[in-house]
């Protein structure tokens, strides 16, 4: 979803094209400083919208990270769809991270809720409720519910959803992107325990965030 053969997400093409075309025009006109600045913008957009392949773990009863970034919170919190309290793992994506989001599990999307809001710093606790966000309720093969939330931030001003209710996502499958840095929250079923700690760096689709408790 959104992946191209160039390893760049399709959301980046308009930005890359504008900067590249502007750089060419400025170079033709001899305005070299502007040409170089636009060339730098082209390179930056290509880097920001990169979408590398990932090696998805095949181990049973695990959840992988839905986003690249840093773990900034692990705490009980009410998820925005059911209102029930679950362990929530918050991942902050800075401007240098890959911003393509991936499904943490294999499951079916039962609900999607988009909420307009503010654009506060995504690392703030109140950003989960006050910022623009899109929540996804997934049900895994064991019938357990998972909630993934894309949260817009201070710079990120667009959440891109590339799935719909009823779709079945594989573990590590792409489902969307948030432009220019933000945050993703993952709410775990009570049968799962986090395997990461605060401050850990994680990779979408590769890093194991949680494992099912042993019976």
Which sequence positions are flagged as catalytic? 182
What order of strands is seen across the sheet that includes strand 174-178?
100-102, 174-178, 159-161
Q: Using CA atoms, how far apart are residues 46 and 14, in angstroms rounded to an integer?
A: 11
* CB-based contact 209:196 (threshold 8 Å): yes
Residues 65 and 80: beta-carbon distance below 8 Å? no
Kind plus residue range of the DSSP H or E element containing 51: none
Q: What does the buried/exposed string (b/e) look like for 105-139 if buried means 16 or more CB atoms within 10 Å of the residue's CB? A: bebebeebeeeeeebbebbeeebbeebbbbbbbbb
What pairs with residue 178 in β-bridges?
Answer: 159
């Amino acid at each position: 979803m959104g992946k191209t053969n160039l390893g760049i997400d399709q959301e980046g093409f308009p930005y890359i094209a504008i900067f590249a075309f502007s750089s060419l025009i400025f170079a033709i006109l001899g305005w070299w400083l502007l040409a170089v600045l636009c060339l730098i913008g082209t390179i930056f957009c290509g880097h920001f919208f990169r979408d590398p392949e990932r090696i998805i773990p095949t181990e049973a009863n695990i959840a992988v990270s839905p986003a690249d970034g840093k773990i900034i919170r692990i705490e009980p919190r009410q998820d925005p769809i059911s209102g029930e309290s679950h362990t929530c793992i918050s991942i902050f994506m800075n401007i240098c991270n890959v911003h393509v989001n991936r499904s943490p599990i294999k499951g079916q999307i039962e609900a999607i809720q988009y909420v307009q809001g503010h654009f506060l710093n995504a690392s703030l606790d109140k950003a989960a409720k006050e910022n623009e966000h899109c929540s996804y309720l997934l049900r895994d093969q064991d019938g357990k519910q998972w909630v993934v939330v894309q949260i817009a931030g201070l710079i990120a001003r667009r959440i891109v959803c590339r799935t719909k209710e009823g779709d079945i996502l594989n573990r590590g499958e792409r489902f969307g992107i948030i432009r220019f840095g933000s945050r993703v929250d993952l709410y775990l079923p009570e049968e799962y325990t986090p395997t990461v700690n605060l401050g850990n760096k994680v990779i979408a689709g590769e890093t194991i965030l949680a494992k099912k408790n042993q019976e």
